[in-house]
Amino acid sequence: MIKTKRNQFGDYMIAFICLLLIFACLLPMVNILARSLSSSEALIRNQVTLWPKGINLEAYRLVLNDSKYTWSLAWTAFLTVICAIFSMFMTTLCAYPLTYENLKGRRFFNGLILITMYFNAGTIPTYLLLKDLGMLNKPVVLIVPYCLSVFNMIIMRSFFYGIPESLRESAEMDGAGPVRVLVSIYLPLSKPVIATLALFYAVGRWNGFSDALMYMNDRTYFPIQLLLYNILKSISSIEIATQEGFATNPGLTETLQAATVVFATVPILLVYPWLQKYFITGATLGSIKG
């Protein structure tokens, strides 16, 4: 098919817009990385933009030598894996039965689940409920309350709808039950959507800190983002003290701030290349049918 000049111009415009979006996403990250590697003097003089000035690894040395950083990173990585696995388990258990047209109360359950996307009890009732359940200040409070996303469940259910029913019927004729059909047919064919939703859950847990802020007092189980939040608050206090003449090295606080942001961001970014091919396929196919 020969493209007209108008179509070519449209393709160029789309490519140009995509490049702008890429730069808009990359530039802040590059700036933070450059600031984390720059000297304190360069930051004080506002000389750092996209390239570090006066390479300085002192901030990273401080971060890596502090046990609370490394422990929080290891704990968050473990928590992210557990949450992703448990969330995928719950999402699959919720989505798979709804694909059976002969399920009694199927419309009722679908409607009931959709209602939770638009209405919720609120922060205070949720806090009181978790308190009555004895989950406050325990690691389980970071896993159970948000283990299921209705939006992700709908994506998985839509993907299951796209699997031919003839495969399930043939397996049932051979004596396979619902669990066997799920394990032997649906899950092997659903690797793209599983990888996509697992990445969604993992990124959500890795970046989450509000639940730990509200429900967790034990600093031992603070995820990395909450630790970063507290660090940035303390650094802000240091900067205020610096302006009042109580601190001696204001530039180091900015370098440390940037280093902690990089320290908390890079690990989850390294996960995406391993799931990229599944992510693209799952994001496309999971939304074909509704």
Extract the runs of DSSP E, i.e. beta strands, from the chain: none
* 249 assigned to some structural domain: yes
In this structure, what CATH number is given to the domain that contains residue 117? 1.10.3720.10
**What is the distance between the alpha carbons of residues 265 and 276, in angstroms, rounded to a whole number?**
18
Query: Which residues does 148 contact at the CB level (< 8 Å), separation at least 6?
Result: 87, 90, 91, 94
Please give the average per-residue pLDDT across 110-132, as a whole number.
87
**pLDDT digits over 245-268, tens only?**
434 455 556 777 788 788 788 887
- pTM of the entire predicted model: 0.78
* 76 assigned to some structural domain: yes
* 2 assigned to some structural domain: no
Do residues 215 and 127 lie in contact, with contact meaning Cβ atoms separated by under 8 Å?
yes
Q: Measuring CA to CA, which residue among 54, 221, 194, 35 is closest to residue 140?
A: 221
Q: What is the pLDDT of residue 89?
A: 94
Whether the pLDDT of residue 86 is over 90: the answer is yes
* 255 assigned to some structural domain: yes
Higher pLDDT, 230 or 186: 186
Q: Which of 10-24, 36-50, 65-79, 239-253 has the weakest average pLDDT?
A: 239-253
**What is the distance between the alpha carbons of residues 260 and 254, in angstroms, rounded to a whole number?**
10
**pLDDT digits over 188-239, tens only?**
888 888 888 988 899 889 888 888 888 988 888 888 888 888 877 776 555 5
Do residues 77 and 267 lie in contact, with contact meaning Cβ atoms separated by under 8 Å?
yes
**pLDDT digits over 8-28, tens only?**
777 888 888 989 988 888 888
Q: What is the pLDDT of residue 39?
A: 77
Q: What is the pLDDT of residue 268?
A: 79
CB count, 10 Å around CB of 273?
Answer: 9
Query: Which residues does 149 contact at the CB level (< 8 Å), separation at least 6?
Result: 87, 91, 200, 201, 204
Residue 202: give the domain boundaries. 60-285
Sign of the Cα torsion 257, 259, 263, 265 reads positive
Query: Which residues does 38 contact at the CB level (< 8 Å), separation at least 6?
Result: 47, 48, 52, 53, 54, 55, 56, 255
**What is the distance between the alpha carbons of residues 68 and 75, in angstroms, rounded to a whole number?**
10
**pLDDT digits over 262-290, tens only?**
878 888 777 777 766 666 665 555 444 44
* 72 assigned to some structural domain: yes
Query: Which residues does 182 contact at the CB level (< 8 Å), separation at least 6?
Result: 92, 96
Q: Measuring CA to CA, which residue among 57, 75, 56, 77 is closest to residue 67?
A: 75
Q: What is the pLDDT of residue 284?
A: 55
DSSP assignment letter at 290? -
DSSP assignment letter at 141? G
* 3 assigned to some structural domain: no
First CA to last CA across the chain, in angstroms? 32
* 31 assigned to some structural domain: no
Q: What is the pLDDT of residue 254?
A: 73
* 195 assigned to some structural domain: yes
Looking up tokens 């196919």, which residue turns up? Answer: 285
Domain count, the chain: 1
**What is the distance between the alpha carbons of residues 95 and 11, in angstroms, rounded to a whole number?**
38
